[in-house]
């Protein structure tokens, strides 16, 4: 055993060593040292920014000079209620819900296949095969759909022999692109959810006379549901704030587009107030997801 310790250099003497000893006797100082950087950064840079954004939402912009007026008012919030924004918010939430449901439906067969039909080798390969495109350049994936859906693009070319035509650019395209982009975020938790279900439960169901469909509906689906909710946090939250995809394949305005338009026009207070809309919706969604057991399924 001594040969192992002999390989290591003798501990340094002097100031560093004394400091190490001093720290060793004071776990709270050590802990403070570890936490100061990361917590300081996240609290000051991130939570601080959210707080300043919240504060910004109470300022207004002078329509003539373009200067921010630092007098707290509720004018931005009145705009949120009275302007076109309730309709835009509703449309965005409906889109996020549609994308989430579609992703959930698509994730079920492939998640089930990965967890319960594929061999262990194939399963591992498939997990990587789903993870890698999840990370592949987001913007390029959106851009690719611009090429696919173009009038002379591959989709219309493929559908032409059938006498059909693709959806072209518009709301259907936005739904399609979002479903495409966030799908891997849903597949991974659903796969993990299926994998966690013990085989014995399914055997018990079939012993009791449950057919495949009954077992799926009454055993598998309820058990995998929290995993679907976990996946939906991403599909829902990411759709809610995105404006790149709608701006690329449609002209429809969603909440993200309104925020960006106001930001671009220099109306920071209104943009800040608008940003609170997806923030509040996502926080409510997270609370619901937690009640549905999603956090245990992550």
Partner 1 sequence: MTIGRGTRLALTVAAAAILAFVYLPIALIVVYAFNSGTTPSWPPVGFTLHWFEEAIRNTGLQQAFLTSMAAALAATIIALVLGTLASLAVSRYRFFGRDAISLIVIFPIALPGIVTGMALSSTFSQVGIPLGFLTIIIGHATFCIVLVYNNAIARLRQTSATFEEASADLGADSWTTFRYITFPNLRSALLAGALLAFALSFDEVIVTIFTAGGVKTLPIWIFQSFRLANQVPVVNVAGLFAILLSVIPVYVATRITSSTGVAGSRV
Give me the 145-184 binding string for partner 1, x by CB under 8 A, dash otherwise.
xxxx-x-xxx--x----------------------x--xx
Candidate residues 98, 143, 167, 223; the one interacting with partner 1 per rule CB under 8 A? 143
Rounded CA separation 198/220 (Å): 10
Residues 49-68 that bind partner 1 (CB under 8 A): 49-50, 52-53, 56
Q: Contact at 8 Å (CB) between 174 and 92?
A: no
Candidate residues 97, 101, 261, 279; the one interacting with partner 1 per rule CB under 8 A? 279
Q: What's the start-to-end Cα distance of the chain, in Å?
A: 43
Closest CA to 193 of 230, 236, 218, 233: 230
Provide the H-helix boundaries in 154-267: 154-159, 171-196, 199-207, 212-215, 221-241, 244-249, 255-264
Q: Of the ranges 79-87, 167-175, 221-229, 259-267, which one interacts with partner 1 (CB under 8 A)?
A: 259-267
Rounded to a whole number of angstroms, the minimum distance from the CB of residue 24 to partner 1 is 6
Q: Does 186 bind partner 1 (CB under 8 A)?
A: no
Residues 214-253 that bind partner 1 (CB under 8 A): 215, 233-234, 237-238, 240-244, 248
How many residues touch partner 1 under the rule CB under 8 A: the total is 103
Q: Does 199 bind partner 1 (CB under 8 A)?
A: yes
Of the two residues 202 and 253, which places its CB atom closer to partner 1 in the complex? 202
Q: Does 46 bind partner 1 (CB under 8 A)?
A: yes
The beta-carbon contacts of 111-115 under 8 Å, at least 24 apart in sequence, are: 111/187, 111/190, 111/191, 111/193, 111/194, 111/224, 112/194, 112/220, 114/187, 114/191, 114/194, 114/195, 115/191, 115/192, 115/194, 115/195
Candidate residues 144, 168, 172, 225; the one interacting with partner 1 per rule CB under 8 A? 144
Ramachandran category for residue 170: left, alpha or beta (phi over 0 → left; psi -120 to 50 → alpha): left
Q: Does 95 bind partner 1 (CB under 8 A)?
A: no
Residues 113-142 that bind partner 1 (CB under 8 A): 113-114, 116-117, 124, 126-141
């Amino acid at each position: 055993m001594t040969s192992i310790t002999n390989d290591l250099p003798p501990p340094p003497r002097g100031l560093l060593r004394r400091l190490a000893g001093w720290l060793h006797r004071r776990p709270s100082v050590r802990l403070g040292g570890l936490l100061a950087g990361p917590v300081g950064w996240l609290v000051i840079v991130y939570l601080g920014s959210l707080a300043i954004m919240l504060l910004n939402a109470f300022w207004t912009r002078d329509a003539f000079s373009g200067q921010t007026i630092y007098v707290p008012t509720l004018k931005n919030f009145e705009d949120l209620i009275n302007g076109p924004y309730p309709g835009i918010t509703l449309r965005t939430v409906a889109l996020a819900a549609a994308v989430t449901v579609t992703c959930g439906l698509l994730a079920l067969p492939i998640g089930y296949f990965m967890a319960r039909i594929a061999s262990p080798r194939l399963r591992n390969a498939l997990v990587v095969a789903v993870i890698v495109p999840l990370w592949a350049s987001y913007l390029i994936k959106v851009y690719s759909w611009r090429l696919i859906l173009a009038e002379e693009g591959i989709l219309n070319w493929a559908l032409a022999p059938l006498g059909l035509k693709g959806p072209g650019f518009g709301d259907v395209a936005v739904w399609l692109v979002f479903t495409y982009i966030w799908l891997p975020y849903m597949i991974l938790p659903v796969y993990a959810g299926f994998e966690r279900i013990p085989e014995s439960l399914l055997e018990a169901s079939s012993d009791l006379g449950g057919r495949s469909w009954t077992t799926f509906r009454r055993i598998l689906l309820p058990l995998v549901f929290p995993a679907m909710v976990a996946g939906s946090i991403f599909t829902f939250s990411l759709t809610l704030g995105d404006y790149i995809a709608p701006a690329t394949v449609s002209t429809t305005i969603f909440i993200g587009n309104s925020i960006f338009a106001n930001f671009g026009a220099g109306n920071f207070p209104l943009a800040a107030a608008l940003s609170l809309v997806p923030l509040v919706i996502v926080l409510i969604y997270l609370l619901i997801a937690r009640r549905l057991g999603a956090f245990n399924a992550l």
